Structure 1
Amino acid sequence: MPLIILSGYPCSGKTQRAQQIHTHFTTKITTSTDPRIKRLKVHTINTSTLNLLRTVYREARTEKEARATEYSAVKRLLTKDDVVIADGLNYIKGFRYQLFCEAKALLTPSCVVHVAAPPEKCREWNSARKAAAEAEKEGGNEGEGEGEGNGDGMPYEDDILENLIFRYEEPNGMSRWDSPLFTVPYIDETPDLDGIWDAMVGNAVKKPASESDYLYELDKTTQDVVTLIQEHQRSIGAGGGSVPVADCAVALELPSSSITVPQLQRIRRQFIALNRQHGVGKERIKELFVEYVNAQFR
């Protein structure tokens, strides 16, 4: 059965998304009345289950061995009755192609889930992990739980993190080995996972809007929000305050100092880059963009 390949920067929240997918699929399976679906089992493969250290990414040889370990685990578990979630960095397109070929050889579908977070957010989360690890050591708990450097909640050394971010090869939905591609923005706490289920297990694949329509809506909606911010700042002579947004459940929470036009356009470009691969339903673009803008100034 299906192979779900997660991909993203280190510390982008891939393991959280893998857990959400695992839970969603397990619930679908246990509540189904279809015997074909009820016999399915869900497996998640990650650095913790494979007992891999973060330091494997420091050298080409150990990194290659780590990828071979992940590939072997996928190959071993992937059968007609097993759903495999490959929760690794999977940042090299050649390796994603290798996993795609393995699924294809078994006549089972595969997809890529791109967990999209900007590098600065990944650095922030990695720093938080490092601080938590230091606090745990000071508390005398270094011998408990997962080994040092192991497990999906452990931090990366700064040089390894930067190297992996630099070398990351973003999935492209136009490539057959990255298709279908589902993009999950880091600010979307409860993403709609039914599309992944339908594409991998269900009989009906949800048909997305055409690329031109989607990109038009993404461009127009984000520009409308940017224009609203600019008009608000002109009307009050400064930034700051809560600004309601039409047809949106979330209000803009602007900082006290005015946001410049270059800042707004940079934020808008980042959001579009994160979501250009049909990662969001058109009806959710506005709400997610407002949340994204708010997150930049917290």
Structure 2
Amino acid sequence: MQLVKLLGKSFPLVLWHRLRSAPFQENKGQPPASLRVPEPYRRRSARGRPPRPPHSARHVLQRPPRLLAPPRKAGPFCGDGLLPSLVAMPLVVLCGLPGSGKSRRAEELREALGAEEGGERRVFVVAEAAAAGGGRAALRAEAERLLSRRDVVVVDAGNELKSFRYELYCLSKHAGTPHCLVLCPGGAPRPDRSPLEAPDPRQRWDWPLFTAPADEAEPLPLAEIRAALFERRPPPPNQSTRSQPLQAAGFLHRLDRLTQDVLAALMAAQRGGVQPGQFVPVAVDGLRGEAQGLVLSRPVSLAELSRLRRQFLSYAKMHPGDGEENLPQLGSMFLQYLSRNLH
């Protein structure tokens, strides 16, 4: 039933109505934090007007809205909680202008973190100079190759753009490791480099944020950095960073065949003279139960049924459940889905 409610025909309009009717008084014209879209992926039109509402449930399946989690509580790490027993090798992202001492801070982190655990912990420094030929793409690829649950990766680069810092944050989510951001003050901008977009600790890809001392002789706050890296729960993966489940070809073929048989039975019943409001029994192989069917309140075309079938298949492929064992249940849910959307 949850699947049917999620894919209901009126779900996109209800969601759009919630976004348009949310209270805007508390933040001077800004929507509440729980409904804000992340800045790098916020959709804007050419004239500055908000995008049009989604026109079908298929839009929701392919491009779900990206909603931020509720704001964290005050205090360090109170929103995520501390787990001293959880050991996961993290990602450290350095940020700053050229000449701010990022390479020296990266070496300081490598020596401090590598000396722990009896020297068994490996610390890799991904330098921007080593990936200068490939730009940000080569830097991201090298960090992704080294990132794992066993090693520490320090990205020694300017990372001026918050969109690129968000990409690194998604890498840590995909690997299931914590991450932190270290801002190196000072330095001077260059005409050939992008301007620095200052980190905002209110954004999840810039949190937790640590600022290196302006005096290079002073050490980094290593105790706080260790707590953020090794005693904090890693961010849970979401739909954009989770690997797609592998499915057997036989399961997809049987599910596709089952939904086709259901549509064929409905079209045959309409050609046989079924009137609107009558119960249409559907007897096809693969359905669980004896009295399977639905009530058609109006005549429906094959094109409309095929559109609803594609929407259901796109969601079922992303949530296969128990595979072959879940096929009869998916068949019953497909009938319920058709009943909800054929009004």
TM-score interval, normalised by the smaller of the two chains: 0.3 to 0.5
Q: Which has the higher helix share?
A: 1
**TM-score between the two structures when normalised by the length of structure 1:** 0.45
Q: Over alpha carbons, which structure has the higher Rg?
A: 2
**TM-score between the two structures when normalised by the length of structure 2:** 0.39
